[in-house]
Structure 1
């Protein structure tokens, strides 16, 4: 696969998963680190997100858990909570995925993640659906 094909495949997957949120992330990197923006597109979405074996919903559950467990990733978590909704996860599934991290990563990280979830749900007027 050529670099152009890899980029195009990654861009299509980024738009499918993250939509405008993903575009904003890539655009925000262009002035300071355009190579990093390209890596996000080519590697994360062109190579990893485009693999077979997991659905986009399953990939987002894994991503939510990883960002929650790592902590300190609230801006990225916000993008991926929106992405999880974009690919069809329900608000309840998102809440449960984050809560499931509590015994593994602890209350502080889960609380921080849940406040991000809450903010996204409020912005999208989904708070009543939980």
Structure 2
């Protein structure tokens, strides 16, 4: 009887620990997400709430809590890499919109962002570079950053 109770207690304690770690990872990621993406990042996570809250949780806890918070790259460098990857993938204009805003938030200039898209044309083609550039134009217009010199 005692061993059954202690096994149950250990399982309950393990679940509580996992739940606490899950929440701590989410909170750590949320702080990074807020610092990098601001309201745009929160809007994406909120939009997932009624269809896939777990995807939103994983983006925050793993993507931002574990990956974006790692040492080795500064936030502006991470955004530059992200912009290049989203451009190369193609069809990611909504995510590019969020990450172009994030890139500006962490110190990249409009000129640097446009230069990154121009550079990407060599590796992933003009159509994808154009799509990224026009997404940037939309973001820059919304932020009053046009024309880009």
The TM-score with structure 1 as length reference comes to 0.97
2:135 is the counterpart of 1:116 = yes
Rounded to whole Å, the distance in 2 between the matches of 1:118 and 1:129 is 9
- Corresponding residue of 1:42: 61
Higher relative contact order (CA 8 A, sep 6+): 1
Rounded to whole Å, the distance in 1 between the matches of 2:129 and 2:111 is 15
Runs of 4+ displaced beyond 6 Å: none
Number of residue equivalences: 130
- Alignment partner of 2:105 out of 78, 86, 91: 86
- Alignment partner of 2:77 out of 40, 58, 68: 58
Instruction: Flag the structure with larger Rg.
Output: 2
Please report how far the alpha carbon of residue 128 of structure 1 lies from its aligned counterpart in structure 2 after TM superposition.
Answer: 2.7
RMSD: 1.0
- Corresponding residue of 1:106: 125
Please report how far the alpha carbon of residue 4 of structure 1 lies from its aligned counterpart in structure 2 after TM superposition.
Answer: 1.6
Rounded to whole Å, the distance in 2 between the matches of 1:69 and 1:41 is 23
What does the per-residue CA deviation read over 1:78-115, in whole Å, with 9 as the maximum and x for residues that have no partner?
Answer: 00000000111111111111111011000000001100
Rounded to whole Å, the distance in 1 between the matches of 2:136 and 2:144 is 12
Please report how far the alpha carbon of residue 2 of structure 1 lies from its aligned counterpart in structure 2 after TM superposition.
Answer: 1.5
- Corresponding residue of 2:24: 5
The TM-score with structure 2 as length reference comes to 0.85
Rounded to whole Å, the distance in 2 between the matches of 1:11 and 1:57 is 18
